[in-house]
Every structure is written in structure tokens, then in C-alpha cells.
Structure 1
């Protein structure tokens, strides 16, 4: 064999029967990695041990030099068989562990719907409780916030706070004036009207109302004045003199039996106390000998049905009833043939006669010892019918603000107008009285009229 020949190629002992050391090192590293994974997984320990034993046997049985391919093949078969045995054991253990884990998951899955259902029921019950509590708190808050829910559905509360008979009338008034009311960041139009009527009806102090509506003293005073101005401009016409045919069509029977259908109006005067003016002339003009204090006097006219058809401007308490009647303009509304019922202090026969009308007053003796029988009957009839005027005046007095002593600033003419702020308040109280049922005639005992 010429090994020096350039074409020579070795064919024997080329190293294929040797086991390189690098293979055993790689196997050892792989075994170590599997052992580490088995420690983490918890169920690969058996496989790692079996493979470790197999590798140890292979290591001990390996010979650095093997002469034949048959021995190598035999050893490989032995290692493969032992590895399959170990792998079978590992697979059995893994299968058992998987079965146990499957049973555990099934039990957890069976228990989870029950737990979830319990939690859902508890959560739903808690949500319902919170919603109910929230609803009750909102209801209580609405009752204390003085909004629409404060009066809605409670007629007694409406009567007490506003003087009106029902919530529908209140909302009707609001619909007629809310477009003209000033805007406010803290008060709604509903609250503006409510606080105005509350002050008229109950004469609540401004400071008290400020706390109720959570506004400043200045803001509430300004809102009250502005609301009165709007009410006076929009609803003041509700105190108006009716047409004669309307009066005759709705004349109560008790008036018809005594005076026919000619009674147009029943007049009387009342006084409102005021502060003492600093000006001497004003002090003399406002002092009332009848009341013994400083007052403003108003003439009020009431129809036979009990509606207020006339209210004069304020006059000093010193003015007589006759003087006010002649100067307030009520005589200009009389028609020929009208009958005016008045008290004996109204000596206005001459002035009424100038309008071709007639005034009926209770008779008085005028120096005689007693009255004639005819005068007694007429006086009794007039006094009986004039009771209705007193009842209407009492109804007007339900607005307690008119019972208090009015400040001097309310007696001054409003800017650009010929009426005072007290005149506006007085007229609005009469308007509110007209919105209430008549105290003279029941609503179903007389015909209605479009006037």
C-alpha cells in the first residue's frame, strides 16, 4: 500500500466506531436541564431520574474504543430500550398527574358557577338597596330644595305658602310671567315666584328667606322687588271693572231681591300701618285719628259676586273716605242707573248723583230719636249685603305682609311711574284674592261670563 501515492485514500480505521467525548458532554448538559425543569414542573422528576440512570449506564458501559459496528449497534439498542421504559414510566406519571389535575379543574368548574351565582345575587341585592336609598334621598332633597316637587301634589302646602288654592293656579301664574322675570344663577323662575308669594302670605323676614333659598340678603330683596314689578305689569289687569251685562247676568239672588239687578259695586276703605315719616308735612298727612298711628288708606270696590273690581292708590291716613272716593277715579266708572252700596261714612250722594247713579248707605237718626220702619228695613238689607265686603277684606288680610308696618321707602313713587311700591303690593294681593273662589257665591250657583 503506497501511502505516498497522491491518489491514495484511507479506508480503514477512519474513526466512525469511536464515541466522541463531546456527545457525552452534550448528553450530560441536556440531562441537567431536564432535571431543572422537572424540579419546576413537579412531575418530571421520575423521567429525569430514569434518564439519569440510563445515561450513567451508558457512560459506564461506553468504551473509548469499539472495534466493530455490531457492538455499537447492540449498545444503542440497549440504551433505547431502557430509555423507552423510563419514558413510559414518565408518561404514566404525567398521565396520572394530568388526570388528577383534570378532576381538580372539574371540581373547581362545578363550584365556580355556584360561587358566581352567590356573588351575583349579593351584588344585585346591594345595588338595589343603594338605588332605593338614592331614590329616597333624592325625594327628601327635592322637598327641602323648594322646587316644583316642594308644592306639587300638596294643596294644603300650596294654600299655606302662597295663598292660592291649588298648584295648577300657581303654575298658570308662573307661565304668564316667567318670560319676563330676570335671570339668576342661584334661583329659578319657580323659586322667584315662590319666595315672593311666601313673603306676601307669611311676611317672612328677608334674612330668613335668604337662608331658605341660599342667597344673599341683597339678592333676595332685589328678586322680590323685580318679581312684584313683573306681576303688577302682567297680572294687574285682573282687577278690572266688569261690563254691566256681565254684572246683571251673574247677580246673586240676595242682591236681586233687594235692589234688583242695578248694584254695580260695594265700596269700603281700609288702612295699612306705615313708619313715621321724618318730614313734618308727610307726618301730618299720614296720621290717622281712627287708627292712632301713621297709615296709608285705600278704597276697595267689590262686585256683588265677591270679586275685587277696583283698588285705589294709597292716600294718607288723614284723608276722609269721601275725599278718596271723589278723587280716586271710581266715579268715572259708574253708569246711569248704577247702585253703589257704601257705609255711612261715605257721604257721596252728590258726587254719585252727578253720574246719574245712586248710593245706598245705612240710615242714621240725624237728630231724631229713632228711625222710621222703612229706614230700618233698608238699613238691615244694606248691612246684610255689606257683610260680603267685610268677608272679602278679611280674605285680603290673609296676606300677613299687609298687617305689618310698611317702611317709608315703599311709600315713594317707583322710578318712572306714578305708583308706589306699596300700591303694587296692594294690587297684587287683590289679584291673588280674585284667583281664589268667591266667598259670596258658590261657583255652581251662578252663570259664568266671558268678561
Structure 2
């Protein structure tokens, strides 16, 4: 109820006839258990051979070596009191203070990586390079991304490549080949946006404004409460029907 309906702790305490502290303790306990037990079972990076054997039809012709489609998921947070933290979390894209997560899905439509939260002003490139995502990349892999991921040179060190839409900078218009390539890429890259949309729409706690105290990292796991919530929500999405059609 807390994840799906974004009900407050006070509301839940009233509904179940108990104290706010009991509800808060129960919520954090279950989130910690799910993060430790459920997430590793449902959210992981599949083996390369297995991915290619089960590749959906829409990827086979143009992107047969694709292992990951990436994007960033931003969650609104309360405005921090400190000016430095306020600046670090300000997202010009969302015009709000946010926590920013790198999310990756497989061509099959399952989430195979979710980073820890970063400040909303952090670039897509920086998160990609410092979140641990690149530890999963092997030579020959192809990653699909939007224009904000300027990581071509970074991936070249791993023997991998990134496919992004063609840039129009310096051109009056794209030539026919670039238009067709961009259209084909958009038709498959849209699946990661569909997944992020489902995560936020199904688990409406991520569609609200997260209290600032949920951003404090756990000493043991190094994850904040919000990190754990995002990880659990993504794992639960993997237990649902995929957004990518098989055929």
C-alpha cells in the first residue's frame, strides 16, 4: 500500500489502528528484506549467450548484439536546506530537485541494472562511468541510448559500442539514411521509456516528492531508503509481463 498507493505513514497507522512508529518500522524492515533477498533473485545481468538466444524479433535484424537499453529515471525529492545539496540535486530537465538513477533493460524488457541515486544535475555520462554499470559490459556488446549519453569513447575501452539517434547540430536536416536509422533505433529504444513509465505509474510512491530523510545512506549497505525502494520496485516489475513483444 505504501509503494503502490503512496499512502502516508500517518494514513496507514490510522487504517490499521496502530502507531506511526510501528508502521514506519514495519515498512523499513520489509524494504530491507526485499532489497537483500528479492532484488538479487529478480534483478540481475543475464549471460550474453542466453540473451542472444531469446532475442525478440524487433531486435534481431538491426541490433542482434544489443545487451542493454539505457536511460535515466528521475524521482522528485524535497528541496534540501543546504545550498550546495540544493544545487547538486537540481535538475534543469525536470525543473525540480531530483534523485537520478541510471536504469538499463535487456532487449527482452527486464531491468538488468539500476544504479544508486545521484543528484539531478549529474550528467548521464558521469553516472554511466561511475555507477558500476560498465562492469557488466563485454567486448562486442551493443548498447542503445539517447543523445545525452556521450559515452562512445568510454565504451570503446571495453570493446563495446553505443547506438544513439543522429545529431542535427550543424545540419539543416538529416539525410535519408540518418532518418531511417534514427527511426529504427527509436522504435526499440522506446521500450526503456515504457519500463520507467510503468515503474513510476504502478508504484506511485516514486511519482510523489520523496522526503529528504529517505536519502540518507545505510551504513551497512551504502544504499539510501529511496535507493532500496527503487530497486525493489524495479525487481517487482521484472516479475510482471514484459513490455517487449516476443514476435
Question: Which TM-score band applies after superposition, normalised by the shorter structure?
Answer: over 0.9
Q: Of residues 125, 130, 152 in structure 2, which corresponds to 1:349? A: 152
Partner of 2:165: 362
Equivalent residue runs for 1:47-446 within 5 Å: 198-237=1-40, 238-259=42-63, 261-397=64-200, 398-442=202-246
1:360 CA drift (Å): 0.1
1:235 CA drift (Å): 1.0
- Between the aligned partners of 1:368 and 1:207, the Cα distance in structure 2 is 56
- Aligned to 1:258, the other structure's residue is in SS state coil
Deviates more, 1:366-375 or 1:341-350: 366-375
Question: Using CA pairs below 8 Å that are at least 6 residues apart, which structure has the higher relative contact order?
Answer: 2
Determine which structure has the larger strand proportion and give its number.
2
- Between the aligned partners of 1:357 and 1:322, the Cα distance in structure 2 is 15
- Between the aligned partners of 2:145 and 2:221, the Cα distance in structure 1 is 31
Deviations 1:122-153 (A, max 9, x none): xxxxxxxxxxxxxxxxxxxxxxxxxxxxxxxx
- Between the aligned partners of 1:402 and 1:213, the Cα distance in structure 2 is 23
- Between the aligned partners of 1:333 and 1:341, the Cα distance in structure 2 is 15
* Larger of the two Rg values belongs to structure: 1
- Aligned to 1:218, the other structure's residue is in SS state helix
1:257 CA drift (Å): 1.4
Q: Which runs of 5+ in 1 are unaligned?
A: 1-197, 446-451
- Between the aligned partners of 1:245 and 1:325, the Cα distance in structure 2 is 24
Deviations 1:353-396 (A, max 9, x none): 11100100000122011212221111011011111111111111
Deviates more, 1:278-287 or 1:334-343: 278-287
1:419 CA drift (Å): 1.2
- Between the aligned partners of 1:340 and 1:323, the Cα distance in structure 2 is 16
State the superposition RMSD in angstroms: 1.1
Deviations 1:168-205 (A, max 9, x none): xxxxxxxxxxxxxxxxxxxxxxxxxxxxxx11001012
1:214 CA drift (Å): 2.0
1:429 CA drift (Å): 0.3
Count how many residue pairs are aligned between Structure 1 and Structure 2.
Answer: 245
- Between the aligned partners of 2:183 and 2:60, the Cα distance in structure 1 is 15
- Between the aligned partners of 1:414 and 1:316, the Cα distance in structure 2 is 17
- Between the aligned partners of 1:316 and 1:243, the Cα distance in structure 2 is 31
